[in-house]
Amino acid sequence: MPDRILRRDLLHGLAAGGILTGGAIAAGLTAGSAKTAEQIERGERGGIRQSIVYWCFNAPNDNPEIPSWDIERMCEVAAQLGCHSIELAPREAWPAIKKHGLTSAIVSNGMPGRPYMKGFNNPRYHDEVVARTIESIDAAADAGFPAVIAFTGFKWRDADDPASGEISRDEAAANCLAGLQRVVPHAEKRGVSICIEHLNTRDDSHPMKGHPGYQGDDVDWLADIVRRVGSERMKMLFDIYHVQIMHGDVIRRLEAHRDVIGHVHTAGNPGRGELDDHQEINYPAIMRKLIELEYAGYVGQEFIPTRDPFAGLSEAVDRCDV
């Protein structure tokens, strides 16, 4: 068998015959991938450090046949696949993450509900967002975790009410700058990065596939705000799925914003499903570009499973293992 046959190729053939289980994929198919099972066990993947995004594999799925993993199962899968991080997990899961020798590449900002709705673009929410972000920075620093997520928030003056009127782009940028300047000095002091996320506003088919109303849907606009903050602890979360929907031209945008990218997310498009042959994004080429740019952060697998989650995650990890 050629050394470079990927686990996904075996998966397609063998799963079609109904002879594979999740355990078989982990134990047997890794030997036919770019790395042997023993190398993956030692964490010897390629140049991309990969992370599993907690909510995708823990939340109830639209398909009741797709299991929801608890933190112990997720940590076991991370170890099997050579991933070193479980990210955006609730704090009660952090002890398990550390027990398994893993990290959390990025953690929540502590905002309740849908945290991307109320952010730094709106002064009416600044006090709460700043306080919760600072508290999250302290928690991350104490746990030894490197980054905290941030959001612009929705563009309406009352985040819950589109009739309240829109905050202009210029005003939103100024508000974000003012709010972030309140938290960045603390992030610098504690050695934790803040990564503000770009999200798409075009997909209204599902509350986690797109976010109509989110102000930070222009990746170039968002990158400019990050640069204006002017701190090595202020970065952008570059979500490949969302960038593809809003802009396309992903590789060129990685090049353009290489100086401010602090974290990366994945998902297949359209649909935010697996990174398989039924979606349009060329993940191996994008990962090779990240290596060329000497990106040293994590790539978080943030797709919503539409089939066996272990099989889909195994395939996604292989596609990004370049």
**pLDDT per position as a tens digit, 221-254:** 999 999 999 999 999 999 999 999 999 999 999 9
More confident residue, 302 or 16: 302
Residue 214, domain member (yes or no): yes
Per the structure, how many domains does the chain have? 1
Dig out the tokens for 68 from the structure.
Answer: 């929801």
Residue 201, domain member (yes or no): yes
Distance CA 316, CA 322 (A): 12
Distance CA 299, CA 287 (A): 9
Residue 36, domain member (yes or no): no
Residue 145, domain member (yes or no): yes
Residue 154, domain member (yes or no): yes
Instruction: Give the structural domain span for 217.
Output: 106-247
> How many Cβ atoms are within 10 Å of 262's Cβ, its own excluded?
24
**Average pLDDT for the chain:** 89
pTM of the model: 0.86
CATH number at residue 238: 3.20.20.150
Q: How far is CA 313 from the centre of its chain?
A: 14
Residue 216, domain member (yes or no): yes
Residue 117, domain member (yes or no): yes
Contact 59, 67 (CB under 8 A): no
Contact 214, 154 (CB under 8 A): yes
Residue 38: per-residue pLDDT: 53
pLDDT per residue over 128-160, tens digit each? Answer: 999 999 999 999 999 999 999 999 999 999 999
Residue 119, domain member (yes or no): yes
